[in-house]
Structure 1
Amino acid sequence: MATEHKLSANGRKDEGKGASRRLRHAGMIPAIVYGGEDKPQNIQLEHEKTWVASQHEWFYASILTLDIDGKPQQVLLRDMQRHPFKQQIMHLDFQRVSANTAIRVNVPLHFVNQDKSPAGKSAEVVLTHELNEVEISCLPKDLPEFIEVDLAEMKLGDTVHLSDVKLPKGVELAHKIDDEHNPAVAVARHARAEAEAEGEAPAAESAEVPAAKQDEDAAE
């Protein structure tokens, strides 16, 4: 199992928008824990410590140990509400997990050995990452913080599909792979073709906009 990540919280009885505003002014985050055999519970967390934790990848794709008034619970972050423009977390939703019940989680992909690949060594090749995460199903004890995609053998014209990704023991994809659902994860294209493809759309869009309108947009 991955490294244990702990967060501290306290239970709260006050509910409603007014209570949540007061918590935020006091540097706290209103949150809720639900799922499992226990009833949903309203809690609060320190904003500063939680904000620091939220800057790490594991915060979103790992089993968290949430210590609520001294009682630890295993949870997953299921929802985060952020302020539209401030660096402020407005609300958090956590779901309790059971050791014997499979969970579905979006896990980030880490691409490795790209620089060592024939594609990565060539200035004429652009190696693009088509997916950044994948939804998996597993027991909590088997949940990986990330899944590695080895690009060491990538060369011009190669495509790594989702079916090519090696999953850790006990982990499977949440959705079945077939001919209709097997998306590309990484693609090695010729740099010139990539540049031409990127340049086509703006040119076509510009041609459809009258010159006078373009001048108005520029002035705005």
Structure 2
Amino acid sequence: MNEQAPTISSGRSKPGKGMIAILIILALAIAGLLIWIFSIKSDMDVLLTEKETQRVELQSELDSLMYEHEMIKTEYGTLSDSLYLKDSIIQENAREISKLLDTQWEYYKVKRKLDLLQRVSQGYVRQMDSLYTVNKVLTEENIEIRQDLQEVQTENEMITRDKEELNEKVEQASILQIYNMTAAGVRDRGSGKEKETDKASRVDKI
């Protein structure tokens, strides 16, 4: 009697098509995500570069403005001390803008502050020019007054000197008249008439 041996299936089970589809979808999603992240990073790099360029430009503009301000102060010298209050406002605004540029900042906010600082600085220059003009006029008037005063003093000295010289001449003339004076005998002839005489017996007065 022949017995038939039971058959045993030895083949491996193949993965389902659904699993393969899921893996493909996941791979595509990961690839898309990586591309998106790379694109975002590139955009951020561009934005950061642009922002840094803007920061450098604004800082350069601020430095140039403050350099010109200091040059104007040096040019006008002590006259700039009269606008100390406005100068302190300019310095404070410049420090505030510089601090904003060193931290988180917004372009338009800093730009507005910088524009305001430029207007204040321009007003400072106009006031300084006005003060310089007024000071120049006053200085010229003062010089003219001193020149006039000097001329008056010179004229007074000349008048005084001429007067002294005249007095000396008068005094010298008086002395000369005394030296040249001669004594003579006078005879009274009556009726108020007098006659010079050299005869002692006829002299009534000298």
TM-score tier, shorter chain, comes to under 0.3
Question: Normalising by structure 1, what TM-score?
Answer: 0.17
- Structure with more of its chain in strand, by fraction: 1
- Structure with more of its chain in helix, by fraction: 2
